[in-house]
Structure 1
């Protein structure tokens, strides 16, 4: 820090008078003050120069970096736009997939519903057919008079027909069970099939097919061992076997089981002969 030297002025002629004396300043105080003033001025100069330099640098920095920031911002905006477009495309694709899946599920539900309805209709038709057969059997029950000696029906003593009839009679009293094929429970076609199997005749399993097997015969020309059917030929819903004397043997229904009945009480629709 520089010192400021002040020249000494000779005392005036009135200096000896106390009231005319000028206050003296300490040389060191003056020097300090001068140094402080010089330092302040120097500091101000440096600060001013630094401020000017910083301002110049800031101007240059802004001028140089502004294009770079602008270019980055443009790239970011473009990237954001591309991302938005891709997101929109993904959303649209997902929406299309969801719509297609919903349509497929709806179509599958319709197909399932249609299949269920078809199955229900088939089951209802089958039940109606069985109900009709059972109703017809019930009506015949009121007209048929089965005595205790109903099983005493004249049959051939020898031959395949006798074997069939003997087998059928041995099952009288067994239960009726839909789909039953023996040995203690039968449905109508299962019993007839088992009877003819005793003599090597391989009949179809169900009534419809049994009514198409063998040779057609008229109801006025029946012989023992002829297969009787109820319903249309090829669509029969019940079968039995003629055992002579105007009677037939069949697995009638769940309430009767296997019985011998009077044909006049429940006339058959037709007959076929296989022996």
Structure 2
């Protein structure tokens, strides 16, 4: 069998040469940069050598019987690897990563502040709207209270004014006084002409006759039939002399007359009859009121 010799390119490990000055030997502690560079060079060399050894056959028994190979392991030129440059790159990369992390954190903080500020602004706007609505409701409530107080005061004032202006209560019965004068005046005006709107002593319409009869007794009552029927309480029991009979709705009567007793009334009926005496039973009157 022929023997083949395998020659592989050999690399010479070159190390920098330093010139030392004459003098006693000095022992100096290597700097961190040198230590890091040596460690990196050693790691690279170890990795290369380990790879080559792993690729070679484990023992001579594993080599082919037919050929004999002589393997020269390459020696890595560790000078190709600049440890300081690698360290600078790593340091630069680490700084960039740190800067990116800081920028990312700053962006996250800014986003949190933005969300917080937006939430605060929204809450402030909601508070503003709620405050405005509360103010509107309070103003409406205050206005309602003021209006109710004004109505109550107006009602009290009106009631007080009504009490002050109310006619003197008539005295029923009695000879020559009180409401007997109302009856006497009405009877004396029998036969007087009917004139709509008249209020003199010689001519009357229905309501002016009733007003004049009460004036004769010293009692002031309203002028129109509507006011006379609505100003006083309704008579619930039997009629008494001096009661005012009315036709139509209470407060909206279209005719009035004076009850003079004995089932009779005196009234200025119309222009054809003038002031006459009539039976209550045949009159179909709507109701009666009693001043006082």
TM-score by length of 1: 0.42
Answer 1 or 2: which has greater helix percent: 1
Structure with higher RCO (Cα < 8 A, 6+ apart): 1
Larger Rg: 2
